[in-house]
Amino acid sequence: MSELAFVKLGGSVITDKTRAETARPEVIRRLAREMASAMAADPGLGLVLGHGSGSFGHIAAQRHGTRGGVRGTDSWRGFAEVATIAARLNRTVVDAFHDAGIPVWSLQPSASAHCDGGELESMALEPVTKALKHGLVPVLYGDVALDASQGGTIISTEQIFVYLARYLEPDRIILVGTVDGVFDGDPLRDPSARQIPEISAANWASVEALLGGSHGTDVTGGMLAKVADMVDLVRQSPGLEVQVISGEQEGALRTVLERSTEVRAGTVIRW
């Protein structure tokens, strides 16, 4: 393997976050084509694909309060419903990537994940490592999970990536969202918000103070939580680079995966 990259397709880019259970099939298909061409350009590229839940899991999880714990019959029924809805989006993503010629293998995180107080403590590694060994692309996604102290919870794709990164030591993590990186304000509401090209030890304290919540319904903490998780990870993993890019920008995922400079995209987080 020449390089190992984890790629997350954010729920914001693969779904319409303002409309319940609405996927964006053309965007998903284009991102699949971009990944397929990067894989053709570098057959040694190892990939783990993850995706968020957007208007699928988040709306259902908020309705049932699943992130905060699962107690009682209705709450457990809600837990199962969130899992079903999250898996529905997974099927759409996996079908599109399969159709683009990518050897994807969908792995259901909640089948093996164990949390405690919302923290992901363990999940099955063997299917992921064997998939990589045999040239497959394992696919994981934000899902429900059992939790030792609160019955159940929700785990984000970032939590899954942080857990896997400890064992798999990826070279890069690429987070694909709807905005071109991390901004010093909300670029969708404030046209004067500026992109932060790099986040490192030098500016993290000031960046942390600037970041607010994200759009729509997000039970796993919005932009600040996602960036803070990645900062914790790069601090512990010298050499790891995290890139936050926009999936709306055609060619951004492909050029970032190919390390080409054709499209200058996003924010890099490195320590």
Q: What residue ranges bind ligand IPE (CB under 6 A)?
A: 10-11, 52-54, 57-58, 61, 82, 86, 142-143, 154, 156-157, 218-220
R_g of the chain, CA atoms, integer Å: 17
Please state the closest distance from residue 82 (CB atom) to ligand IPE, in A.
Answer: 5
Smallest distance from the beta carbon of 216 to ligand IPE, in angstroms? 9
* CB 266 to ligand IPE: min, Å: 16
Of the chain, the end-to-end C-alpha distance in Å amounts to 24
Supply 230's token pair.
Answer: 């990645």
Closest to ligand IPE by CB, 229 vs 241, is: 229
Taking the least distance from each CB to ligand IPE, the nearer of 19 and 194 is 19
Q: Work out how close the CB of 95 gets to ligand IPE at its nearest, in angstroms, rounded to a whole number.
A: 19
Question: Which is closer to ligand IPE, CB of 11 or CB of 138?
Answer: 11
Kindly state the tokens that stand for 248.
């709306």
Contact 113, 146 (CB under 8 A): yes
CA pair distance 270, 199, nearest whole angstrom? 7
Shortest Å, Cβ 25 to ligand IPE? 16
Distance CA 140, CA 230 (A): 17
> Of 38 and 89, which has the nearer Cβ to ligand IPE?
89
| CA–CA distance, 215 with 112 (Å, rounded to integer) | 30
**Shorter beta-carbon distance to ligand IPE: residue 48 or 258:** 48
Report the Cα 212 to chain-centroid distance in Å. 19
65 and 118 in contact (C-beta within 8 Å)? no
